[in-house]
Every structure is written in structure tokens, then in C-alpha cells.
Amino acid sequence: MLSIALSELIQIFRNRLVLLTSFILPIAPCAFFIYRHEVFADLGSLGYIAAVVVFTVGAFGLYTTTVTTLASRRQNLFLKRLRSTPASDAAILFGLMLPVTVLALVQVVAILAVLAAVAGGPTNVLLLAAAVLSTVIMMLALGLATAGLTNSPEHAQVTTLPISLSAIGVSTWVGISGTEELTLLKRLLPSGSATELVLNAWNGGVPVADSLPLLLPTLSWVIVAVALASRLFRWEPRR
């Protein structure tokens, strides 16, 4: 698995398009939000800015790159060749997704650290870590499922849009309006409960015991996405 991950990491740094979508696109809007943090904090809160950072990197950096990578490796028959090695299917997928996952986590931690330095840190770091990790796992699972519907890296530009835009849209909706109204709907949407968890972790004011159940909807989406991936994912190009 580690040899696959190392090979994939080298490919990422050689591919300018992947570097652009993985680093530049997520970082630019996050930098703008931090630069204008006072305006956006008045609109929502500092927790809202943190949630936008998490889902911007998660959607445009992690999720989109995962789908593009898997579609590309399928198209050039790299996945098929890997299956002829002793590596298990799980090891192959983990190896391919590990580099982009680590890079996304580094980005999120670095950007949130800048936000904390500029505007003030989170109330509960451990709760924030749980929110970030659960979000990363969810976006990876959704990426794996979406890759099953994606025939090529070019096709990924279309297939990833619904989840990417909806994740950021719901995060913005919940971050600004809260969950006092339409609570159940907001929490059941893929990024709704995770956004609320980030808000609670950063802004405080909610007991940890009341926040932890917010992990359940996110983890439920992981189960749904993995179940879909097991049915949809293909190791060879469709004919």
C-alpha cells in the first residue's frame, strides 16, 4: 500500500492540473474568507468560516481529486495492472487515496491555524478534529462512489459538481442560518451535521455530549456511499 501511495504522490506533483485543483482552487477562496474574516464573522461566525474552509478543501481538493484520480487510473488500465499484483483491492484504493487525503488534512490544519492566529482559536480542538476527520472520511467515501459513475478524468468535471456545490452550499446555509429552523433536514443533508459540529467546536456554547450525536448523520453517509461504491465501482473502463 505504501509503495502505491508513494507512486501516486509523485504523480500528483508531476501533474499541474491536479496541483491546481488540489491546492490553488481550495486555498484561494479560503484565503479570501480569512482576509475578510470580520465581515464573514458578522454574517455568520468564526465557526462558519472554519466550516467553509473544511468543505472547500474537502469538496474541491479531496473529493474532486479522488474522483479524477480513480477515473484516470481506470482509463489508463493502471487499476487493472495493480489488481494483478499481490495487493488487495482495499490496499490499492487506500494507497491511491492516501496522498491526496494527507495533503487535504495538511491544508485544512494549516488554514485553520492561520484563522486561529488571525481571529481567535476554537473552543474545543478535539471536537473540531472529530468534525474534520469525519468530514474527510465522508468525502472520500462519496468520491469512491462517484468514481463508479465517472468514465474519464474529463467526465469527472461534470460528475463531481452536484456533490461539491451542494456540500459547500449546505455548509453556507447552515453556517449562516443555524439549525433552529428545519433542524432535521439540515442535519440529514451530507454536510449539514458536520457543519453544525464545526460551529459548536469553534464557537462553543454547546455541551460536548449534545454535539457528539452530530457525528451519526455524517457516518451514515459514509455507510451509504460505501454501499453505493461496492455496486458502482469498476476496475476496468466501460466498453
Total residues belonging to the chain: 239
Is residue 204 within 8 Å of residue 124, measured between CB atoms? yes
Q: pLDDT digit string (tens) for 161-180?
A: 999 999 999 999 999 998 88
- Within-domain flag for 50: yes
What does the pLDDT read at residue 180? 86
- Within-domain flag for 17: yes
What does the pLDDT read at residue 179? 87
- Within-domain flag for 102: yes
What does the pLDDT read at residue 145? 94
Residue numbers of the domain that contains 153: 2-232
- Within-domain flag for 75: yes
Nearest alpha-carbon partner for 138 in 54, 210, 209, 231: 54
- Within-domain flag for 212: yes
C-alpha cell at 127: 471536537
pLDDT (average), residues 137-157: 91
- Within-domain flag for 120: yes
174-191-96 Cα angle (round to 5): 150
What does the pLDDT read at residue 239? 60
Give the predicted TM-score (pTM) of the model.
0.93
Beta-carbon neighbour count of residue 112 at 10 Å? Answer: 24
- Within-domain flag for 238: no
Q: pLDDT digit string (tens) for 72-116?
A: 888 888 888 888 888 888 889 999 999 899 989 999 999 999 999
Domains: count for the chain: 1
Q: pLDDT digit string (tens) for 5-56?
A: 787 777 777 777 666 766 777 888 888 888 888 888 888 889 999 999 999 9
Question: How would you classify residue 189: left for phi > 0, otherwise alpha for psi between -120 and 50, otherwise beta?
Answer: beta
Nearest alpha-carbon partner for 144 in 16, 231, 23: 231
198: pLDDT strictly greater than 90: yes
**Predicted confidence band at 238 (pLDDT cuts at 50, 70, 90)?**
low
**Predicted confidence band at 4 (pLDDT cuts at 50, 70, 90)?**
confident
- Within-domain flag for 239: no
What does the pLDDT read at residue 132? 96
